[in-house]
Amino acid sequence: MGNVCSPSFSCDDSVSHCLDCSVRKAGYICRLQDNLDALQRELQMLIEERNDVRVRVIVAEQQQMKRLERVQGWLSRVEKVESRVGKLIRKSPQQVEKLCLGGFCSNSCKSSYKFGKKVVKALRVVQSLRKQGDFQDVAQPAPENPVDERPLPATVVGLQSTFDRVWRCLMEEQMGIVGLYGMGGVGKTTLLTQINNKFLDTPNSFDFVIWIVVSKDLQLAKIQEGIAKKLGLFNESWQSKGLEEKANKIFKILSKKKFVLLLDDIWELVDLAQVGLPVSSCASSSNKIVFTTREIEVCGQMEAHRSFKVECLGFDDAWKLFEDKVGRDTLDTHPDIPELAEAVARECGGLPLALITVGRAMASRKTPREWEHAIEVLRCSASQFSGMEKRVFSRLKFSYDFLPNDAARFCLLYCSLFPEDYRISIEDLIDCWICEEFLDESNGIGVRNQGYSLVRTLLHSCLLEEEEDNFVKMHDVIRDMALWIASTTEEREKFLVLAGVGLIEAPRIRMWKGVTRMSLMTNHIENLLESPVCPRLRTLFLSSNIFHRVNSDFFQSMASLRVLKLSYSNPLLFEISKVVSLQHLDLSHSRIERLPIEFKYLVNLKCLNLEYTYGVLKIPPKVISNLKILQTLRMYECATVPQARDSILFGDCRVLVEELLGLEHLSVFTITLNNFHALQRLLDSCMLQYVSTPSLCLSHFNNSKSLGVFSLASLRHLQTLHLTYNDLEEIKIDNGGEVKRVRELSGFHCLKNVYISSSKLRHTTWLFLAPNLKRVEIDNCQDMEEIISSEKLSEVPAEVMENLIPFARLERLILEELKNLKTIHSKALPFPCLKEMSVDGCPLLKKLPLDCNRGLERKIIIKGQRRWWNELQWDDEATQNAFLPCFKPF
């Protein structure tokens, strides 16, 4: 038979399955009431848990956190289940009424069964949701926008040019770290805010743009906290972490992101690696760091790839800002007010902080008298002007307080003795500071280096402004702040500064009492008829006054006077010899004709300045040599035409040189000599090994036709050389031998200014040995044919000429009345630093050493007669066209 397939069933299994189904179905009915009770309990507990989670979410969101998606989903599901279960519970009484036999059966089994099944299903859902609602965290830090827009002042002027340069640097150049520096209140923070907000226009360029305010009290933990908040790392546990652990967490995120870090108001080095910044990515410019500081030195410490100075506003921009703060309503109140308002605005020196403060204070002043009074207050006592002390000076004083030592702070206050906008000679400052004992005199020439270091400190702090030719200037508002500080110092110092205020009489005697530093510079004082009693007076500035009458006892009661300045005046000198305490006497640019023999009693004198006293006819013998402790003697451009026979200036000046050689403590001198033998005596002395000679004038140098270049180069620290009215025909370069000797001594390395007039020199080829020349002026030299002679240069060995580029740092070249001058140099020169070239009275000069492909990075000015310019010859039309806009006719 064939095989037969047939299913087989277990009767027991079938019966069991049917019984289970029946039991379950019966259970939906007989246990309906219990299940309803359980559902209500579970729902109530779910609602309570839901409410707790909602509270946690609300609290987190108030802390700027974002609820988790799974939490939001759970809350939504709970809401739906609550609604569905609510309907079931509302229908439950009807279903319960259908039950009979003590709840074990129903009048409508099918209906009760379906309802009971829904209840059981709902119960399971509620129980499941309760388990899912056990959240450890309900929210997380909200993801930050890449850039947070920051508020800007309503009026921002004068920063666009700097902003454009900085932004171009950040976007186009390979610059990772950029510094913005400038004095307090100049607008650095505003500029940084503009940069921050500009990143809103490029949202995809960087993942994070982070703004941190640092301030004077540098705390790396606070910087880390600011970064952590931006990165979403900041939570309750952040504070308990150590500096290194925080840095590691910051590093892990930022090393994988592109970021910009904006650090506002830093005063010292911020160790970026210690904060957690991936420094290598900043160095390679994939990320950017921009910071503001008042200290240019900080730019170096931060290894900034570029540094930009934020300057004070020009007057047009300053007026626009001032006008906005005052308001046209006030300015139009009276026809005289606009002109007065311009004078008030000028007193603010273009400093935005001062313009805003003064402008707001003047917004309610609607009469000319009020504006006139404001001008007087700002000029004479700016600290008394409304808001200046609290809003301006107190902020600027941070820079003063942050100076490294008391010496630097007092040296700043000392600069306030000079008038507004005064160009202060750095050499003059250091002379005064040495005599005031602000500097350590123990190491000779080193004390001047210390003085220069102090000046650089003040410049780097933006408390002084650098000027050309070794001068500095003090911003008007900084000066006002310094005077305010000086007026509030302790009793041991008392300043009285009335410089440049138009005085026609000296202050009354009572005003001199207790004063330690006084300045009456740049006034119109003619008479000093009283005899003030001021035993504490140490410093007296009387420069730029024309004195006709002086009380013979004027200096009688100044026993402590150390520094006396009488430059640019017509001083009556005989009484000065009574001030035996005097250490510094400045008679430069004065109208004196002779030094009194009584000057030999000024035995404590350390500095005597006679520069530019052209009219001095007599210096009696033994006056200079009797000043045994003299350290600085300045006689550049002094007595250019000596006549008196009983003077040490008479004849060949060798008597003067001999007296100089007898001064054992002399460390600096400038001098005018009229004789080759006097110069040779000086050069042969061992004194030049340790004495600095920053300025030399050879005037009426008529007994020598030539001079070896090494003779001049052996003068230490020579900065200015003037050759005038002499018979010199050549300054010789001995076949390169002289050049080698000059280079071995680093000769002419300091030489910056050369003036040659009324000389018989035919060329000045030796100038190529001065690599740092800034200014050359040559006039009235009828024999001059070439400035740099190619023939003379060819005699110099090639190895000596290596890396020597004539006029590499020259800024100004002025040539006048050189009738036979044919060439400046036969080859085109780069002139990378040239600002001005002026040519007048040089009819044979037909070609300039200019190349359109070199040296045009800087805009230069070429001055001359129109006819001369039109007759110039050019290598090609491109060169002519390139320099055509540079010409400015006389």
Average pLDDT on 400-427 reads 92
Top CATH class, 401-475: mainly alpha
Q: What confidence tens digit (pLDDT) does each residue in 508-519 have?
A: 999 999 899 999
Q: Which of 402-411, 457-466, 740-749 has the lowest mean pLDDT?
A: 740-749
Say if residue 400's pLDDT is above 60: yes
CA distance 519 to 539: 8
User: What sign for the dihedral angle of Cα 6, 12, 18, 20?
Assistant: negative
Reported confidence tier of residue 19, pLDDT bands at 50, 70, 90: very low
Reported confidence tier of residue 2, pLDDT bands at 50, 70, 90: very low
Percent of the chain scoring above 90 in pLDDT:
44
Average pLDDT on 390-417 reads 91
- CATH 3.40.50.300 applies to domain 160-309: yes
**What is the predicted pLDDT for the residue at 696?**
93
Radius of gyration of the chain (CA): 43
- CA-nearest of 737, 819, 713, 719 to 775 is 719
**What is the predicted pLDDT for the residue at 8?**
39
Across-strand partners of 212? Answer: 263
Q: Which of 298-312, 456-470, 638-652, 835-849 has the lowest mean pLDDT?
A: 638-652
CA distance 183 to 458: 11
Residues 215-222: contacts with CB under 8 Å, at least 24 apart: 215/265, 215/267, 216/265, 216/267, 216/398, 216/402, 218/266, 218/267, 218/268, 218/270, 220/270, 220/271, 220/274, 220/275, 221/246
User: What sign for the dihedral angle of Cα 733, 735, 738, 741?
Assistant: positive
**What is the predicted pLDDT for the residue at 854?**
57
Please report which helix (H) or strand (E) contains residue 497, including its range: strand 495-497
**What is the predicted pLDDT for the residue at 68?**
83
**What is the predicted pLDDT for the residue at 743?**
66
Written as six digits, the tokens of 774 are: 């800034």
**What is the predicted pLDDT for the residue at 12?**
44
Please report which helix (H) or strand (E) contains residue 607, including its range: strand 607-609
CA distance 74 to 582: 90
Say if residue 369's pLDDT is above 70: yes
**What is the predicted pLDDT for the residue at 423?**
94
Written as six digits, the tokens of 646 are: 């009983």
Do 331 and 297 meet the contact criterion of CB atoms below 8 Å apart? no
* pLDDT top residue among 741 and 824: 824
Q: What confidence tens digit (pLDDT) does each residue in 686-736 have?
A: 887 788 899 999 988 777 788 888 888 888 889 999 998 888 888 887 766
Q: Is 227 left (phi over 0), alpha (psi -120 to 50) or beta?
A: alpha
Say if residue 611's pLDDT is above 90: yes
User: What sign for the dihedral angle of Cα 863, 865, 867, 872?
Assistant: negative
CA distance 682 to 670: 12
Average pLDDT on 346-353 reads 92
Unique residue bearing structure tokens 């900043």: 282
Q: Which amino acid does the sequence have at 868?
A: W
Say if residue 59's pLDDT is above 50: yes
Q: Specify the CATH number of the domain 490-580.
A: 3.80.10.10
Q: Do domains 160-309 and 401-475 have the same CATH topology?
A: no
Across-strand partners of 777? Answer: 755, 814
Say if residue 108's pLDDT is above 80: no
Q: What share of the chain is helix, strand, coil (3-state, %, to 5)?
A: 40, 15, 45
Q: What confidence tens digit (pLDDT) does each residue in 190-229 have?
A: 999 999 999 888 877 888 899 999 988 888 989 998 998 8
Reported confidence tier of residue 471, pLDDT bands at 50, 70, 90: very high
Unique residue bearing structure tokens 């030539």: 706
Q: What confidence tens digit (pLDDT) does each residue in 825-834 have?
A: 988 888 888 9
Helix 315-326 × helix 352-362 angle, to 10°? 30
Reported confidence tier of residue 853, pLDDT bands at 50, 70, 90: low
pTM: 0.77
Please give the DSSP secondary-structure letter assigned to residue 763.
B
Say if residue 315's pLDDT is above 60: yes
Say if residue 10's pLDDT is above 60: no
**What is the predicted pLDDT for the residue at 5?**
35
Residue 727 main-chain phi, psi, to 5 deg: -95, 10
Average pLDDT on 323-335 reads 92
Residue spans per domain, the chain: 18-141, 160-309, 315-380, 401-475, 490-580, 583-680
How much is the mean pLDDT over the chain?
A: 85
Across-strand partners of 840? Answer: 816
Say if residue 438's pLDDT is above 90: no
Strand 105-106 versus strand 99-100 pairing type: antiparallel
For residue 263, the SS3 value is strand
**What is the predicted pLDDT for the residue at 363?**
92
User: What sign for the dihedral angle of Cα 593, 594, 596, 602?
Assistant: positive
CB atoms within 10 A of CB 321: 23
Q: Is 253 left (phi over 0), alpha (psi -120 to 50) or beta?
A: alpha
Q: Which of 12-16, 216-220, 563-567 has the lowest mean pLDDT?
A: 12-16
**What is the predicted pLDDT for the residue at 855?**
46
CA distance 465 to 799: 41
Q: Which of 134-138, 177-181, 374-378, 460-464 has the lowest mean pLDDT?
A: 134-138
Written as six digits, the tokens of 491 are: 């009793």
Q: Which of 203-207, 241-245, 669-673, 847-851 has the lowest mean pLDDT?
A: 203-207
**What is the predicted pLDDT for the residue at 881?**
87
